[in-house]
């Protein structure tokens, strides 16, 4: 069994919640309780071997950030024990660990000292940290004037360039521009592939499945499920789907991705009768996607998702998952997805088209075409799709039939 990098045993965290600051003072003076207890964590146990990634998933308020703060040493548990072995770097709340009056460069020195780097190590790593952050002249400006994206750049640069044994990240990749997000994803992939230990919290299940081997689903401060990442993510998504079905309020439609260095120009459906969105069951389905990029050397993958109108994911297609090499070499591109027989039997469907980077992780651009594909079926059918199949029938001996009739 590999060495354990992180061990959590019955971790619990209880906060005292007061209705007003005066209640806190009254409790201090009278020694009578004026608070209620909020259990942010309750007996959370898990172990993480060195060189693995563990995803922490769950709804807002489930206790994910509290757990990561305890593991990062920022706050202490109310009960239980934990051990994190090796050098630990974390990116939690943006700006945590920074002195707002210090410059970016001074905060690098401060964080390096807290991480235990020697002066020689800091001197060697400082240029790489500054270069990766791409803050330019702002590196010598006080952190208090930084935007949230700039603070994330500095925090991520420090955490990953100091070569930690354990890296803890809490939703940091959701902040910042698309270019730097991709840069961070590439760095995380290299960290995991090199044998780094990662604790990664995110609501993006695709990222979670790419970076981590196992997942911990947190719900109401407790560990709801712990196991292989695909199994836990599947259970979590089923839970969210059931919760969404019970909700009477419709969720807002997703917005298109912000324009970046690559853009989708056009998306066309080509059916049996030419361009259009109406099909019969098992009609061929062809989707053409045109896009352009600013850099002819940039590599791309395409992905297409087909969802039912209630946002249930039905089918997905990806050029990377198909084993194709990335598209590259031209400023303008056109790709065609061909499905000889669409297995859908009935209903209206939303098309999602994603323009991705060479790792199929970062989204450069996307198109969401709601109600773009209608499957018209003249007959009533049960189910959504039909799989190729056959029936095999054999005759049973009379003796067996007689036994069953008794």
Tally of structural domains, the chain: 2
The span from the CA of 134 to the CA of 145, in Å, is 16
| Beta pairing, strands 4-18 & 166-170 | unpaired
Looking at the fold, whether 220 and 288 belong to one and the same domain comes out as no
Q: Provide CB contacts within 8 A for 139, sequence distance 6+.
A: 103, 104, 105, 130, 133
| Beta pairing, strands 363-375 & 278-279 | parallel
Looking at the fold, whether 232 and 141 belong to one and the same domain comes out as yes
Domain that includes residue 162, residue range: 4-246
What proportion of the chain, given as a percentage, has pLDDT over 90? Answer: 35
Which position has the higher pLDDT, 173 or 391?
391
For the stretch 333-367, pLDDT in tens is: 899 999 999 999 988 888 999 999 888 888 889 99
Looking at the fold, whether 150 and 269 belong to one and the same domain comes out as no
Looking at the fold, whether 230 and 305 belong to one and the same domain comes out as no
Q: How confident is the model over 218-230, as a mean pLDDT? A: 93
Looking at the fold, whether 70 and 204 belong to one and the same domain comes out as yes
Q: Provide CB contacts within 8 A for 372, sequence distance 6+.
A: 269, 277, 349, 350, 351
For the stretch 244-286, pLDDT in tens is: 666 534 344 444 445 567 889 999 998 776 666 788 899 999 9
User: For the chain, what is the mean pLDDT?
Assistant: 85
* Res. 4: pLDDT tops 80: yes
Looking at the fold, whether 232 and 289 belong to one and the same domain comes out as no
Contact 17, 38 (CB under 8 A): yes
Looking at the fold, whether 313 and 343 belong to one and the same domain comes out as yes
Looking at the fold, whether 101 and 210 belong to one and the same domain comes out as yes
Whether 288 is in a domain gets the answer: yes
pLDDT of the residue at 248: 37
pLDDT of the residue at 362: 87
Contact 230, 217 (CB under 8 A): no
pLDDT of the residue at 176: 63
DSSP 78-95: SEEEEEE-S-EEEE-STT
The CATH number of whichever domain residue 135 belongs to comes to 3.40.50.300
Looking at the fold, whether 108 and 148 belong to one and the same domain comes out as yes
pLDDT of the residue at 255: 44
pLDDT of the residue at 404: 55
Looking at the fold, whether 74 and 194 belong to one and the same domain comes out as yes
Looking at the fold, whether 313 and 242 belong to one and the same domain comes out as no
Q: Provide CB contacts within 8 A for 121, sequence distance 6+.
A: 112
3 state DSSP class of 399: helix
Which position has the higher pLDDT, 312 or 129?
129
For the stretch 379-401, pLDDT in tens is: 778 888 888 888 889 888 876 55
Looking at the fold, whether 268 and 242 belong to one and the same domain comes out as no
For the stretch 306-323, pLDDT in tens is: 998 777 889 999 999 889
């Amino acid at each position: 069994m590999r060495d354990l990098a992180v061990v959590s045993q019955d971790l619990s965290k209880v906060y005292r919640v007061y209705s007003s600051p005066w209640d806190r003072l009254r409790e201090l003076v009278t020694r009578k309780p004026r608070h209620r207890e909020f259990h942010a964590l309750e007996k959370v146990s898990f172990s993480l071997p060195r060189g693995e990634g563990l995803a922490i998933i769950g709804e807002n308020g489930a206790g994910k950030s509290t757990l990561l703060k305890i593991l990062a040493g920022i706050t202490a548990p109310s009960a239980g024990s934990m051990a994190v072995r090796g050098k630990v770097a974390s990116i939690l709340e943006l700006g945590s660990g920074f002195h707002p009056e210090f410059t970016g460069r001074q905060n690098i020195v401060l964080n390096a000292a807290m991480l235990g780097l020697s002066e020689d190590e800091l001197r060697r790593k400082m240029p790489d940290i500054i270069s990766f952050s791409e803050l330019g002249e702002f590196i010598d400006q006080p952190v208090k004037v930084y935007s949230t994206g700039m603070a994330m750049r500095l925090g991520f640069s420090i955490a990953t360039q100091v070569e930690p044994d354990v890296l803890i990240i809490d939703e940091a990749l959701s902040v910042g521009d698309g270019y730097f997000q991709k840069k961070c994803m590439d760095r995380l992939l290299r960290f995991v592939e090199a044998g780094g230990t990662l604790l990664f919290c995110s609501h993006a299940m695709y990222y979670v499945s790419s970076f981590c081997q196992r997942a911990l689903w947190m719900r109401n401060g407790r560990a709801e499920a712990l196991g292989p990442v695909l199994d836990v993510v599947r259970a979590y998504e089923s839970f969210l789907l059931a919760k969404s079905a019970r909700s009477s309020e419709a969720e807002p439609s997703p917005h298109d991705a912000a324009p970046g260095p690559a853009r989708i120009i056009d998306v066309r459906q080509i059916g049996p009768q030419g361009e259009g969105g109406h099909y019969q069951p098992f009609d061929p389905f062809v989707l053409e996607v045109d896009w352009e990029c600013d850099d002819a050397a940039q590599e791309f993958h395409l992905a297409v998702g087909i969802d039912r109108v209630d946002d249930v994911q039905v089918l997905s297609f990806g050029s990377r998952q198909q084993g194709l090499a990335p598209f590259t070499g031209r400023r303008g591109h056109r790709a065609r997805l061909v499905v000889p027989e669409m297995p859908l039997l009935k209903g209206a469907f939303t098309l999602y088209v994603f323009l991705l980077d060479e790792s199929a992780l970062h989204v450069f651009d996307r198109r969401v075409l709601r109600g773009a594909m209608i499957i018209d079926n003249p007959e009533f059918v049960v189910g959504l799709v039909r799989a190729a199949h056959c029936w095999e029938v054999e005759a049973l001996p009379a003796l067996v039939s007689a036994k069953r009739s008794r």
